[in-house]
Amino acid sequence: MITIYNFARGARGLRVCWQCEEMGLPYRFEAVPFPPSPEYRAKNWLGTVPFLEDEGGVALSESVAMMLYLAGRYGPTPLLPNGDDARLARVLERTVFGEATLGSGINPLLLAHFGAPEADKRGWLVGAQERRIEQALGQLCEWLGAGPFLAGDELSLADISVSCALGIWLGALNKPLPELLVAYRARLAERPAYQRARQKTQAARPPA
């Protein structure tokens, strides 16, 4: 059985749950307390979320790696196409973009916003990083164009990855999105699989 550990409202774990729902994969969701407990750190010594366990001793602590693992282990799935090298390349690029460019770029902004002294919240690095994310949002708009999804006419891992990163930018940091991306996120949020994953994760409570 797939087990996904995450904070109840953690966007990166939501990615993985959403993918499981889209693929029809059974999974357990376990909410992690903050700060993480010694029991959780015994599984994942960094104490980071999300964390995935599966049969056969599988243990992963990077959300995009989890997504690729699930698609490969339990596919084939339209979320990760095969037989079309050009589309596969787009899906892989944009799936990784959701974390390597957007997610990792947003992380220092979260740290400054929630952890820095007031005098340091608007330092040089914060402004530079915000501009970098805004450039990345422009790239997303170019990729999306008038299409429904980032890598073609069907939902893919790229959409799941990127949409959750946009949620951090919009929700945790309260930053604006271009109207094209606002409409894109709204379409994705209407998907039944997304709704099921969101309800399941937000309803979970960490162990006392």
What per-residue confidence (pLDDT) applies to 208? 62
**CATH hierarchy code of domain 2-79+194-203:** 3.40.30.10
Q: Where along the chain do its domains lie? A: 2-79+194-203, 85-191
- Residue 166 CA, distance from chain mean position: 9
Instruction: For the chain, list residues with pLDDT below 50.
Output: none
Domain 85-191: CATH class, spelled out = mainly alpha
What per-residue confidence (pLDDT) applies to 113? 86
Q: What are the phi and psi torsion angles at 148 (to 5°)?
A: -80, -25
Two structure tokens written together for 193: 């699989």
Alpha-carbon span 47 to 35, nearest angstrom: 8
Listing from the earlier edge strand, what are the strands of the sheet with 2-6?
27-31, 2-6, 51-54, 58-60
